[in-house]
Chains A and B, each alone.
Chain A
Amino acid sequence: MKFVLKKTLLYLLLSLLTFVFIFPIILVLINSFKTRFVIQNSPFSLPDSTTFAGIENYVRGLEATDFLASLGRSLFITVFSVVLITVCCSMTAWFIGRVKGRLGNGLYLLFVFSMVVPFQMVMFTMSKVANVLGLDNPIGIVFIYLGFGAGLSVFMFCGAIRGLPRGVEEAAWVDGCSVVRMFFSIVLPLLKPTLVTVSILNAMWIWNDYLLPYLVMGSDYRTIPVAVQYLKGGYGSVDMGALMAVLIVAIIPVTVFYLFTQKFIIEGVAAGAVKG
């Protein structure tokens, strides 16, 4: 009897918390179907026949922000940055792990040091450097992300490489395998769990990043977070309807991605913390 009561209480409490966690998103979803002027004054009401706006808000919001272009840009930047970061940083980490002495240690410390430095410290000078080098576009920014994401990624790969058995590599070396081929056909497959973790942590960061793409590319190439802020940041009264609609379409891609990969994401975060 006591056991059943305890269990029921547990479910009640968790369901209440679930509601609290989902409620903000549901509220925005409801408001995205209301006419723009009623949102501000009665955000908690359901749309009725006079306040129902259909998909009007979505049409206005997507048009004002050129949302589809932003979506494509965000996808492009995130995918290519993550691929470049995982490949280059795992290579660098292997180099650091296998080359003993001052060079390896010095590089390692340098990368760890960069993790402590907040973005504000380099934001002004970095955007100027990116500008001078012509990296202020969706292709160039991928290299900026490699540079700025290298700290954490190299650090995590170094941790994984310390645990790799040396025997396999030495056997391949005796068989006359070149070091570059050895890395790609032997080391990289062994690093798979860390590759997943590093990809996830970087993807979450880059997809949602606002300040770096805004400062480097300006509003010529807006990613999704920059597009949302752009909609709100203009002068005059804010179109609340369009804002609600854009918030929803900004959440949809992440949610879909999360539903398919949640197991990896949650495991990746837990693994990342253990190594971090």
Chain B
Amino acid sequence: MERKIRGRWYVFLLPTLTCFAIAFLIPFIMGIGLSFTEFKTVTNARFVGFENYIAVFKSSDGFISSLIFTVGFSVVTVIAVNLLAFFLALTLVKRFRFRNFYRTVFFMPNLIGGIVLGYIFQLIINGVLLNYGYTITSRWSFGFWGLVILSIWQMSGYMMVIYIAGITSIPGELYEAARVDGASSFRTLISITLPSVMPSITVCLFLSLTNSFKMFDQNLALTAGAPSGQTEMLALDIYNTFYGRTGGEGIGQAKAVIFFIIVAVISFVQLRITRSKEFDS
């Protein structure tokens, strides 16, 4: 049977692999190659060695400040989103009326796209700041906290759903045993719930971290990097280097390669750490 399936590779593999090559594999390899060149279109590339990479780390370029902004934003967002989501999940696993209604409402923001969300929050935040004579682009900190609030609003419901699935799959006997032993509800949370939902925590930390780190649409719509690029996150910085600067393509591609390496390292390290925690418990 295996030989027969192998023989039908053109049915099972060819469509997916062709598109995969066109949309991912070829562009990926070209991208790495082009990061070592200076180019306008893909065909007139000139080899420049590591020049683009050196240019990325010059202080006149916004890359390092974007990196710092992105890291700060991601740390704050991941902590806030997961705390709120976990709290919501703990509350919404209990049996009571309208439980599903609340779940439905908290999840909803996920279905609205980043661009639309960005403009919704721009309206609200500008409306509040107006009372003090500011707009969201007056200071970088306004944009920073604006993005954090928007992300909490958007991502909490998604993570909540994952935590709920994790908590409901904990066997009831564990709680029964804790009750018999006279454990307090806080003690039960620390000793039973938390270790049992470690796989969900892994997934949620991973998802919220990569989502925050790669954020683009919300950033573009909410502040577009204003004031003067101070609220530009990495993805937007790369985009602007490519399309907003003359002759920026090579440097933009070099930044993209660095961005890719950072994201890959984060994904790898994070999965390693949380996976090992799972085995301990």
Interface residues of A (CB under 8 A from B): 7, 10, 13-14, 17-18, 21-22, 24-25, 27-28, 31, 39-44, 88-89, 91-92, 94-95, 98-100, 103, 107, 110-111, 114, 116-126, 128-130, 133, 135, 143-148, 150-151, 154, 169-170, 173, 179-180, 183, 204, 207-211, 224-225, 228-229, 232, 243-244, 247, 250-251, 254-255, 257-258, 262, 265-266, 269-271, 273-274, 276
Q: Which residues of B are found within 8 Å of A146, using beta-carbon distances?
A: 15-16, 19-20, 23
B119 neighbours in A (Cβ, 8 Å): 228, 232, 243, 247
Q: A110-B25, A121-B28 are in contact. List 8 more A-B contacts (CB 8 A).
A: A18-B102, A22-B105, A24-B121, A44-B127, A91-B13, A124-B249, A129-B27, A208-B111
Known A-B contacts A91-B16, A120-B238, A243-B119; the reply to A266 vs B161 at CB < 8 A is: yes
Q: For A255, what are the chain B residues with a Cβ–Cβ distance below 8 Å?
A: 108, 111
Pick from A99, A118, A121, A211: contact of B5, CB under 8 Å: A99
What's the Cα separation between A17 and B92 when bound, in Å? 13
**9 intermolecular pairs with C-beta atoms under 8 Å apart:** A17-B88, A118-B235, A126-B27, A150-B19, A210-B113, A225-B217, A232-B221, A250-B113, A273-B207
Instruction: Please tell me if the beta carbons of A114 and B220 are within 8 angstroms of each other in the complex.
Output: no
> Which residues of chain A have C-beta atoms less than 8 A from B13's C-beta?
91-92, 95, 107
Cβ distance A126 to chain B, nearest Cβ, rounded Å: 4
B17 touches A92 (CB 8 A): yes
Using Cβ atoms and an 8 Å threshold, which residues of chain B touch A143? 19, 22-23
Do B6 and A99 touch (CB < 8 A)? yes
User: Which residues from chain B sit less than 8 Å from chain A, CB to CB?
Assistant: 1-2, 4-6, 8-9, 11-13, 15-28, 30-31, 34, 41-42, 88, 91, 96, 98, 102-116, 119-121, 123-124, 126-127, 130, 153, 157-158, 161-162, 164-165, 199-200, 203-204, 207, 214, 216-217, 220-221, 234-235, 238-239, 242, 249, 252-253, 255-257, 259-260, 263-264, 267
Contact B12 A92, beta carbon cutoff 8 Å? yes
- Report A4 CB to chain B, min CB distance, Å: 12
Q: Which of B27, B42, B123, B217 contacts A27 (CB 8 A)?
A: B123
Could you tell me the distance between the alpha carbons of A243 and B34 in the complex, rounded to whole angstroms?
39
CB < 8 Å neighbour of A28 from B4, B41, B107, B120? B120
A89-B16, A169-B1, A229-B221 as given contacts; A21 in contact with B153, CB under 8 Å: yes
Known: A266-B161, A270-B161, A270-B162. A118 touches B214 (CB 8 A): yes
Closest Cβ neighbor of A147 among chain B residues = B23
- Closest Cβ–Cβ distance, residue A78 to chain B (whole Å): 12
Using known A-B contacts A40-B126, A95-B12, A273-B162, determine if residue A117 contacts B260 with beta carbons closer than 8 Å. yes
| Residues in B neighbouring A44, C-beta threshold 8 A | 127
Q: Which of A10, A247, A273 contacts B96 (CB 8 A)?
A: A10
Q: Is the interface of B mostly helix, strand, loop or mixed?
A: helix
Contact of A24 with B153 at beta-carbon distance under 8 Å, contacts A124-B253, A144-B22 already known: yes
- Chain B residues, CB < 8 A from A117: 24, 28, 260, 263-264
Q: Are A125 and B20 in contact (CB under 8 A)?
A: no
| Residue in B16, B27, B102, B127 whose CB lies within 8 Å of A43 | B127
Closest to B34 in A: A125
Most chain B C-beta atoms within 10 Å of own C-beta, residue among A7, A24, A103: A24
Q: B105: which A residues are within 8 A, CB to CB?
A: 18, 21-22
Minimal Cβ-Cβ distance residue in B for A140: B22
| In the bound complex, CA of A28 to CA of B257 (Å) | 39
Residue numbers in B under 8 Å from A122 (CB-CB): 23-24, 27-28, 31
User: Which residues of A have CB within 8 Å of B31?
Assistant: 121-122, 124-125
| A179 neighbours in B (Cβ, 8 Å) | 1, 4-5, 8
Q: Are A208 and B27 in contact (CB under 8 A)?
A: no
Nearest-CB residue, chain B, relative to A19: B105
> Which of these, B12, B42, B103, B203, contacts A276 with CB under 8 Å?
B203
* A14 to chain B: closest residue by CB: B102
A150, B204: Cα distance in complex, Å: 22
> Of all chain A residues, which has the CB nearest B131?
A44
- What is the CA–CA distance of A92 and B214 in the complex, to the nearest angstrom? 28
Cα distance, A58 to B54, chains bound together (Å): 50
Docked Cα-Cα span, A111 to B11, in Å, equals 18
With a CB–CB cut-off of 8 A, which chain A residues contact B203?
273-274, 276
Q: Which residue of B lies closest to A98 (CB)?
A: B5
Give, as a whole number of angstroms, the nearest-CB distance from B254 to chain A. Answer: 11
Taking CB as reference atom, which chain A residue is nearest B255?
A120
Question: Chain B residues with Cβ under 8 A from A27's Cβ?
Answer: 120, 123-124
Bound-state Cα–Cα, A232 to B118, Å: 11
- Inter-chain CA distance A95–B238, complex, in Å, is 37
Q: Would A7 and B19 be within 8 Å (CB), given that A21-B153, A169-B1, A211-B216 are in contact?
A: no
